[in-house]
């Protein structure tokens, strides 16, 4: 998985991976805004780009889900015992804002995963994009996380 936020890419790719795959739905798939994902996919390939949807734009509503009630409980407790709790609460708010602005690009290390073909490639009728990891890294080599 690649995660991008303000030009910085965080890689959790397996260091030994040589190729990675992105399963796509093909023709007739539209995002939440009614835009053709096929057209977006073709345009990003033609223009040598990658689309990093935000957490809110992911197709799985539970992806990126977190329960912050425990953290809120800790922040309330801290506010009773320390004067820095307000600063901590503000920092936590900024962290949540950054998470909301972070894009996600998930890749698979295999092209023959039946579940991924079924779920992400429109029931086995879509396509998979193959990336060479070294080329992908070089194309974003300005990034300090890949150097």
The pLDDT tens digits of the residues spanning 36-80 come to: 889 988 888 888 777 778 777 777 777 767 778 888 888 888 888
Q: Where is pLDDT greater, at 64 or 130? A: 130
Burial class (CB in 10 A: 0-12, 13-18, 19+), 20: buried
Range list of H helices, 47-132: 69-81, 85-101, 114-120
Encoded tokens for 26: 């093909």
Q: pLDDT of 12-23, one tens digit each?
A: 555 567 899 999
Q: What is the mean pLDDT of the chain?
A: 78
Asked whether residue 4 carries a pLDDT value surpassing 50, the answer given is: no
Residues 76 and 89 in one domain: yes
* Domain tally, the chain: 2
Residues 49 and 97 in one domain: no
Residues 5 and 45 in one domain: yes
Residues 25 and 73 in one domain: no
For residues 122-136, average pLDDT: 87
**What pLDDT does residue 8 have?**
42
Residues 48 and 4 in one domain: yes
Q: What are phi and psi of 103, to 5 degrees?
A: -95, 155
**What pLDDT does residue 118 have?**
92
Residues 119 and 95 in one domain: no
- How many helices (H) and strands (E) would you count in the chain? 5, 5
Residue with structure tokens 């345009």? 43
Q: Where is pLDDT greater, at 142 or 119? A: 119
Residues 97 and 114 in one domain: no
Asked whether residue 145 carries a pLDDT value surpassing 50, the answer given is: no
**Domain range enclosing 39:** 1-54+102-147
Q: Count Cβ atoms below 10 Å from residue 43 Cβ, excluding itself.
A: 12
Residues 67 and 110 in one domain: no
């Amino acid at each position: 998985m690649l995660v991008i936020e303000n030009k910085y890419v965080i890689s959790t790719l397996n260091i030994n991976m040589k190729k990675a795959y992105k399963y796509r739905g093909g023709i007739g798939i539209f995002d939440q805004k009614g835009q053709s994902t096929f057209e977006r996919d073709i345009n990003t390939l033609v223009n040598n780009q990658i689309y990093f949807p935000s957490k809110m734009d992911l197709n799985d509503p539970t992806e990126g889900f977190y329960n912050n009630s425990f953290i809120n409980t800790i922040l309330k407790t801290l506010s009773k015992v320390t004067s820095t709790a307000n600063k901590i609460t503000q920092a936590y708010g900024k962290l949540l804002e950054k998470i909301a602005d972070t894009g996600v690009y998930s890749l698979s290390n295999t092209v023959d995963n039946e579940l991924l073909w079924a779920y992400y490639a429109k029931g086995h009728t879509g396509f998979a994009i193959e990336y060479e990891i070294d080329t992908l890294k070089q194309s974003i080599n300005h990034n300090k996380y890949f150097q």
